[in-house]
Homo-oligomer: A and B are copies of this chain.
């Protein structure tokens, strides 16, 4: 068993031991679960991440309203401990089936729906302070990687310089016991929103010319991609650039990569990259790169509503971002990365990105 597995197991055992201790002492067994509500989420101005505050709530065993959740928490904890001991990982959907059973002669199920087990997993994550990946659970995987790095995935050496057009599939669990970094010549990480843009840049061998690691997450990057980018940034000291559409959804993707999300605030510390740089598309790029009028798209009402919300977010208060968002709302138009193709199929590879990087033309 590796170091991470041992540590996580110890955390789970400690949690159980505490409850046994309370029981033996004749007390009502209780857990202190950090509160995952909006009121307990804050933007840490110094670290520049969205994080969970210190509020916790008690979960009691002898309490009609809490007994079931109390037991569910330990049921999930026991299953995770077993997974770790067996060296296996599983999906959160699978865990639901693994732990679902009918109690004795009753008609009472441990869980009725996955909607019941998912929050219990999140409770357990915050209570023992372990990412779900450390509990050997994963969400779905998406995304590919190519570029100037060699890494080891489950014992297999992956040379990302020789991964063809498809690239290496980024797995859902990328913790240090699964993925290790070896030799690299990369100077930065380029995370793109869309797989089509990844394909264009890979076909043009952008990563070779500019010495970088190219990753896409197929839209909103999944946890595996976010965590891997975080590790490349923290452990190898690589700057991270994010290339998304010029619309509120693209800005949101960037924002989650950068400071985390409200829903998963407790994970920001190990997922977010507060220094991630936005290389567009910017609301000023249509003019800067002289793109034709006919590639713009009118913002929908929903876009406008989202854009206005973003103006008020504490993490978008920098002058640059206020200008950026105001310009988008004023113009009433949005732009997809693909709009750059109207200037030529490899315009993005040969003009747009090199110019942005050379001129330091990014937002932070």
Residues on A close to B: CB < 8 A? 83, 86, 88-91, 93-94, 96-98, 100-102, 109, 138, 140-142, 144, 152-158, 162-173, 178-179, 195-196, 199-200, 203-204, 218, 292-295, 336, 338-342, 345-346
CB of A338 within 8 A of CB of B218, answer no
CB <8 Å contact, B169 and A168? yes
Cβ-neighbour of A102 out of B109, B154, B165, B292 (below 8 A): B292
Residue pair B168, A168 in contact (C-beta under 8 Å): yes
Nearest CB of B to A269, in Å:
24
The 8 closest A-B pairs by CB, nearest first: A153-B164, A91-B196, A166-B171, A166-B169, A144-B169, A156-B162, A156-B164, A97-B341
Complex CA–CA separation, A169 to B172 (angstroms): 14
**Known contacts A100-B295, A101-B294, A345-B94, A171 near B199 by CB under 8 Å:** yes
B142:A166 contact, CB within 8 angstroms: no
The distance in angstroms between the C-alpha atoms of A109 and B293, with both chains bound, is 11
**Once the chains bind, are A140 and B196 in contact (CB under 8 Å)?**
yes
CB pair B199–A345 under 8 Å, yes or no, is no
CA distance A346 to B179 in the complex (A): 23
- Whether B94 pairs with A341 at a CB distance below 8 angstroms is yes
Query: What chain B residues lie within 8 Å of A195 (beta carbons)?
Result: 140-141, 172
Least CB separation from A88: chain B residue? B345
> What is the CA–CA distance of A341 and B339 in the complex, to the nearest angstrom?
46
Q: When chains A and B are docked, how far (Å) is the Cα of A28 from the Cα of B171?
A: 56
Residues of B within 8 A of A171 (CB): 164-166, 199
